């Protein structure tokens, strides 16, 4: 966990919502200078902050609507801290909880150096990252349609499809595979939606590939040198990592990517693993996929995996492989060198 410990003259905590916010400003001694509710308006917020602009820091909990305040602070030269949602237990664990108390708690945590903070993703690449995540959402919706078709086929105990339903060019055959007219109508709806998703996903991928060559052309090529990492996984890794310098050590990167487990220990006794939801779920997915794809058409990789599988079992071996790929990715991007398969399977 990382805590914001820099000292300032004024500390501002904001409990932010979509249309309104509650703002609390404290001085160095802890005296409350401002404590009131405002609309989510740039000019109104700046008017409230103006008397305290000298050496001011603003903190907001990491919610879906924090972008505009971060951008406003960057434009005005105000220090901004994005509070980690899972690390702000003082807000969620109290007996009494409301917007007024939450804004004060955020300001007090900030003043005391106890605010667990998150990475503020750069404004110029934020929209592209969100578009990449949106593409993932559409792909998973398309997968739900494929699953529904297969489940319906099993439900009526019909023969297996002659071709993979996601690859076949004649999707009318999917509909005709069923006899009942109502079932055919249901399948027609799935097929129509799949066609729409295919078109949207294809357009998004073309746009994203153009963007990545502008933002991360060399890094994109480095990641493609890893067996099993294609265009989409490379895109995901690049836009979720963005700046490798924010990770001081490879251990920090692996923790952020959810590739290592947490640990609770007291009096020399380990009680349980912890922090499974702390980190980037998109990086966790990408490295898990990369570990599975790494073994396809990769004889040295499969031979290496067999060794660790005999010792740890298949599930644990895949986790070990994903973590090792994460470590390799960190050092590849740090040193600007392509993947060395021979070294990977021997170290």
User: In DSSP terms, which residues pair with 82 in a beta bridge?
Assistant: 60, 118
**pTM > 0.85: yes or no:** yes
Q: What integer pLDDT is reported at residue 203 of this predicted model?
A: 97
Instruction: Give residue 90's pLDDT.
Output: 66
pLDDT, position 42? 96
Beta bridge partners of 115: 4
Q: Find all residues with CB under 8 Å of 100, minimum gap 6, and list them.
A: 15, 22, 24, 35, 37
Q: What is the mean pLDDT of residues 249-259?
A: 95
- The per-residue pLDDT for range 190-227, each reduced to its tens digit, is 999 999 999 999 999 999 999 898 878 899 999 999 99
pLDDT > 90: percent of the chain: 82
pLDDT-above-70 percentage for the chain = 98
What would the pLDDT profile of 144-199 be if each residue is shown by its tens digit? 999 999 999 999 999 999 899 988 888 999 999 999 999 999 999 999 999 999 99
Whether 125 contacts 167, CB under 8 Å:
no
Looking at residue 183, its pLDDT comes to 96
Summarize pLDDT for 272-326 with one digit per residue, the tens: 666 677 889 999 999 999 999 999 999 999 999 999 999 999 999 999 999 999 9
> How far is 319 from 90, CA to CA, in rounded Å?
33
Among 240, 222, 233, CA closest to 328: 222
Q: Is the pLDDT of residue 25 over 70?
A: yes
Contacts of residue 116, defined as CB under 8 A and 6 or more positions apart, other chains included, come to: 1, 2, 3, 83, 84, 87, 88
Question: Edge-to-edge, what's the strand order for the sheet holding 10-16?
Answer: 3-4, 115-118, 79-83, 56-61, 10-16, 20-27, 32-39
CA-closest candidate to residue 82, choices 45, 118, 126 = 118
Record the tokens describing residue 134, joined without a space. Answer: 């949106």
């Amino acid at each position: 966990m990382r805590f914001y410990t820099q000292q300032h003259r004024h500390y501002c905590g904001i409990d932010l919502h979509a249309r309104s916010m509650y703002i609390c400003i404290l001085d160095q001694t802890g005296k409350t200078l401002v404590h009131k509710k405002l609309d989510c308006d740039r000019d109104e917020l700046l008017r409230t902050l103006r008397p305290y602009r000298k050496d001011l820091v603003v903190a907001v909990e990491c919610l879906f609507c924090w972008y505009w305040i971060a951008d406003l602070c960057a434009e005005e030269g105000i220090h901004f801290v994005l509070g980690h949602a899972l690390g702000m237990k003082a807000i969620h664990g109290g007996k009494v909880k409301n917007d007024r108390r939450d804004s004060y708690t955020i300001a007090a945590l900030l003043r005391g150096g106890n605010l667990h903070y998150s990475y503020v993703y750069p404004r110029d690449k934020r929209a592209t990252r969100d578009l990449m995540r949106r593409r993932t959402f559409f792909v998973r919706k398309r997968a739900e349609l494929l699953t529904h078709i297969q489940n319906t086929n099993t439900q009526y105990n019909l023969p297996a499809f002659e071709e993979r339903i996601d690859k076949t060019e004649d999707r009318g055959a999917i509909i005709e595979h069923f006899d009942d007219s109502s079932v055919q109508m249901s399948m027609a709806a799935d097929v129509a939606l799949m066609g729409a998703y295919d078109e949207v996903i294809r357009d998004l991928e073309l746009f994203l590939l153009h963007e990545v060559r502008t933002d991360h052309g060399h890094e994109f090529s480095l990641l493609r040198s890893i067996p099993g990492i294609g265009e989409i996984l490379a895109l995901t890794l690049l836009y979720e990592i963005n700046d490798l310098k924010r990770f001081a050590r490879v251990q920090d990167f692996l923790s952020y990517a959810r590739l290592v487990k947490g640990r609770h220990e007291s009096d020399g006794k380990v009680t349980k693993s912890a922090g499974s939801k702390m980190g980037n779920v998109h990086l966790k997915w990408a490295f898990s996929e990369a570990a599975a794809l790494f073994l396809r058409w990769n004889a040295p990789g499969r031979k290496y995996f067999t060794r660790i599988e005999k010792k740890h079992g298949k599930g644990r071996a895949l986790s070990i492989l994903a973590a090792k790929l994460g470590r390799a990715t960190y050092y590849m991007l740090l040193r600007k060198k392509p993947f060395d398969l021979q070294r990977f399977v021997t170290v």
